[in-house]
Homo-oligomer: A and B are copies of this chain.
Amino acid sequence: MQNGKLPERATLRDVARLAGVSEISVSRVMRRAPHISDALREKVVVAANTLGYTPNRVAGALKTATSNLVAVVLPSMSNEVFPEVLDGIESVLSGHGLCPVLGITQYDSGRELEVVRELLSWSPVGIILTGLDQDAAIRRILLHQNIPIVQIMDVEGTPLHAAVGIAHGQAARDAAELLIERGYRKPAYIGAWAERPSRSRIRRQAFEARLAERGHPLVTAQISAKKSSVQTGAEVTQALLATHPAVDAIFYANDDLAIGGMFHCMKSGLAIPGDVGLLGFNGISFGQAAPIQLATIQTPRFEMGKRAASLLIEKNAAKGLIVDLGYRISVGSSL
């Protein structure tokens, strides 16, 4: 201290010495173990406060071979979807004294492997991943851990342990039916980010397939290379309508793009749904509160996070459980 060194972080031993008790007693007090006399507790608390002692859970975790960390692997933070899922996850974890350790993959499976390795090295009590389509290398590593694995977003596939999500293919087929029911005959599709989110591709393909079955095939699908955003939605919609004026309805990969499309139409004086019908995906608040309420497929994002975290905690995850939370089609006034 005198020579300018920063004070080292206090340990149990320091507290024990100052309090004049054994290390194990300090440990017991810090963990609120039962059968502790008030006198002992008092001495320990005073000493701990004096030293600004913070328990070292790294050491504790090593000894007990258990942590309060939960690995959470998400593809992106750049739209409303995954923050809401994370919010749901955190809301449950925090009630159980657990902390999320976060990995973002940017939809890159190489990065996902790194991230999973990194997170697993912290001995989390469980792991939440996005999607059912991890690489074989990732699956292998995951299954070597003795921890519950919950995969979120999708249910159409085989989970490693448990899955909580919705049926994206079914949702897209329903979208196709909806457009046809409503009398649309020249449907188009708009996506973004080169369809890196695999769920987008699945939805587009299912949408396209059902339209073809119903005899009103997709007029065009425009997949922007740019990241999904309101701005991108506006740009692509403008381009699409310019090159394909016959299009009478557009299904978007998500609401951000759809709202961009809506804004473009409003600025250009195009009537919604008179000139073109718009259908989004997700049901974010902006779309629902817009002057023309966006027709969309509502997905339970916060709930999905909560259920995923609950499954982890209840350790029901190893049962091949699939929780399909379903979606709700909100017809809005944009169709």
Contact = CB atoms under 8 A, between A and B. Distances in A.
A309 interface: no
A83 B8 CA distance: 34
B54 A58 contact: no
Contacts of A145: 9, 54
User: Chain A contact residues: over half helix, strand or loop, or mixed?
Assistant: helix
Contacts of A102: 86, 90, 99-102
Given A9-B145, A121-B56, A146-B6, A69 B291 contact: no
Contact of A118 (B10, B68, B91, B117): B68
Interface string A219-235: 00000000001110010
A33 interface: no
Interface string A68-94: 110000000110101110110011001
Contacts of A212: none
A226 to B, nearest CB: 13
A87 B58 contact: no
Interface stretch (A21-29, A198-206, A260-268): A260-268
A57 B56 CA distance: 14
Contacts of A286: 230, 259, 286
A274 to B, nearest CB: 17
A130 interface: no
B285 A267 contact: no
B58 A67 contact: yes
Nearest to A78: B87
A123 interface: yes
Q: Which 3 A-B pairs have the closest CB atoms?
A: A52-B144, A83-B83, A57-B121
Given A10-B144, A58-B122, A94-B115, 18 more contacts: A54-B145, A56-B62, A56-B123, A58-B67, A59-B62, A77-B84, A83-B86, A94-B111, A99-B118, A100-B102, A101-B102, A229-B285, A230-B289, A231-B289, A256-B285, A259-B286, A263-B290, A266-B291
5 contacts: A54-B117, A77-B90, A78-B84, A78-B87, A101-B102
